[in-house]
Structure 1
């Protein structure tokens, strides 16, 4: 009884520690990971010399018992001194319970804290037959995910759309849409100052927005190369939230798409095509020129090369007699003496050293010494 009490308490604490949130399908989900919330989970170094300690933190997120996140969910964090964001748009087939493991790493002490986030994806509560995707050139995805920034963008587009019933459906970085990696210039954001935001509503497009679907607008954007065109009626209170008029598109899903034509089923019997006439035999071909070029010519070249090498190696040699005739006699005498002395030393060092007479060069000094002593 008492042994089960700690297990029950631990299970209760683990359940209470989970964060639970809900989101409807087909709408944008954003969950911000605040660094100050996890600051208290590490060692009690909150205040150093009277100041709050600001630890750099890195978030690692994955689905429970899986190495990565669900396919509809993404995570981003600009640097260890800023908050992280989990964001994405679940599809209707993604309904259900998603358990996300969040690992917080303190880069100062390298302590680790683990938390679980439970995301319940509910059925779609509202349909958005009219959708529009806008290209914001001076924003990156980390700067658009906070709630106040989304509210500012929504207010600007409400004036353009003429309705207040707008909801964010998706936010995508330009890098995820095939954009190029920016140059390492100070002040440039990742994604090269660009992000795509998609909003939806149940109200039709305004007269200004409907201009995006006209052929005149497409031709004007191509001629102006992305500059401000005459039909741009968008306004923005913050210059960083201004949309690019030529790169914005409208998606009208209110009209049902006509199904593809069903192929007609035939009788299964091939039509009569007449008698089969096999092709005639190919004409004869003379391979002798190819044989000369591929076999004979290389063989002749190899034989000529062998003849030249044989002449150089055999006929152009100097010879021993001619070499000795050009060498001075004194040099030849030194060479022969060196060879004879070397041969004599080899005989003395070999098995015949007992029978070989001592060299005269070694006995000459002794004979001279004996003659000098006898003369005295």
Structure 2
């Protein structure tokens, strides 16, 4: 085990020694190109032939202040960022893994970033958002110099000696939306800094676009300023709603100094804080916060049950205790006679059935009409007085002496069948 540990640290030491050296400065944007010649490869014109992965040595990811982007137009990757003030480390070892997708060959290169203190850091910064560019566009020396020349020659002549880029990031990474047209640029947020105070031209420009500050982001061609021609001629479309002048009290260097003073007053070691931010540590299962759903379930169940019980008690009180005040004589009579319907119906059904049988027998006897009338009178005499006066036993013509009886469906019975007599000629 000890032998393995020694070999492990020896491999790390050899990798650091053989790593390529790169000097970067605090508060200034740096860029490192990751291309095939860096790994002794030759680009063969195949799109997305090479893939790059960069991270801290023996760590899964890059520090928070280093970003990576791949450019299809340049067929290369770019590492860029701004070292924070008083990082606490002079050397940042990086490991870059490259993959050739044509033959799946993998190669590894180590980089050492040496962080140096910036002499005469910027005290005044110009914050801008350029809508028609991507981050990799400003890695071209001609494009970035054209932007600086606008300020050095027209708007901020005092900064011609020490103007440099202090911040660079994609607008999408800062929360902006991607353009609807994929061919358009995503947008770039950039800051140019210098030690020279702002010129009268910049101060007047800020007063001109100050009414636009209430809008978080302006669409393209939303507002044209008096200096619009300088940027349009150079190929830059600025979002004037995001244009700001950051003076010495609000600059990034000043904020870092305030943070350093607070940390020193609280007894916090800056080196420990920055080293902790760049160190990746996995979470234990016991450290993962747990959420209890007992309270939510209890509330979601108890509240409806309580409401239901209250409503049930109110309805029971209204129906039980106030029932004596509700009196309806007709309803009482109806419910009293309701149970006699079935017995009366069954009794009437037997009488109707017997009368139908008597009518069938008498249909073949002589003097039929007289005999049916007699039977009908006898059947009526068998009914009680209430039943005889019932309208259900009368015909539809309200004639009490009708000879046509009703069946069980409360309608008149059909007349007896009589065979028709046909003429001989038919």
TM-score by length of 1: 0.57
Aligned to 1:317: none
Question: Which residue, 97, 108, 126 being the options, matches 1:132?
Answer: 126
Aligned to 2:3: none
Answering whether residue 166 of structure 2 is matched by residue 169 of structure 1, we say yes
Runs of 4+ in 1 over 4 A off after TM superposition: 10-16, 220-226, 254-257, 293-298
Return the alpha-carbon distance in structure 1 between the equivalents of residues 315 and 142 of structure 2. 78
- Secondary structure of 1:30 counterpart: strand
Q: 1:230 to 1:168 in 2, by over 3 A?
A: closer
* Residue 22 (structure 2) pairs with residue 28 (structure 1): no
Aligned to 2:311: 290
Distance (Å, rounded) in 1 between the aligned partners of 2:55 and 2:134: 23
Q: Cα distance, 1:113 vs. partner?
A: 0.3
Q: Which has the higher helix share?
A: 2
Contact in 1 for aligned 2:132/2:184 (Cα 8 Å): no
How far, CA to CA, are the matches of 1:59 and 1:80 in structure 2? 15
**Judging changes above 3 Å, is the alpha-carbon distance between structure 1 residues 92 and 15 closer, same or farther for their aligned structure 2 residues?**
closer
Q: CA deviation at 1:229?
A: 3.7
CA contact (8 A) 1:74 1:87 kept: yes
CA contact (8 A) 1:95 1:123 kept: no
Partner SS, residue 137 of structure 2:
helix
* Alignment-derived partner of residue 181 in structure 1: 178
Which is higher, the Rg of structure 1 or of structure 2?
A: 2
1:322-344 CA deviation, whole Å, 9 max, x = no partner?
A: xxxxxxxxxxxxxxxxxxxxxxx
Structure 1 residues 12, 127: CA separation in 2 closer, same or farther (over 3 Å shift)? closer
TM-score of the pair, normalised by structure 2: 0.51
Which residue is 1:358 aligned to? none
Q: CA deviation at 1:295?
A: 6.8
Are the counterparts in 2 of residues 212 and 249 from structure 1 also a CA contact under 8 Å? no
The Cα of 1:207 is off from its aligned counterpart by: 1.4
Q: Deviations over 1:32-51 (max 9, x none)?
A: 112233243xxxxx6xxxxx
1:139–1:240 contact (8 Å) kept in structure 2? no
Structure 2 alignment gaps of length 5 or more: 1-10, 259-307, 320-426
Give the match's secondary structure for 2:86: helix
CA distance, structure 2, for counterparts of residue 81 and residue 217 of structure 1: 36
Partner of 2:244: 249
Which of residues 113, 122, 127 is equivalent to 1:119?
113
Q: In the alignment, what sits opposite 1:276?
A: none
Task: Report the Cα distance in structure 2 between the residues aligned to 1:295 and 1:171, rounded to whole angstroms.
Answer: 73
Q: Which residue of 1 aligns with 2:71?
A: 78
Tell me the CA shift for residue 31 of structure 1. 1.0
Shift of 1:199: 0.8
The aligned runs of 1:20-59 (5 Å cut-off) are 20-40=21-41, 53-54=44-45, 56-59=49-52
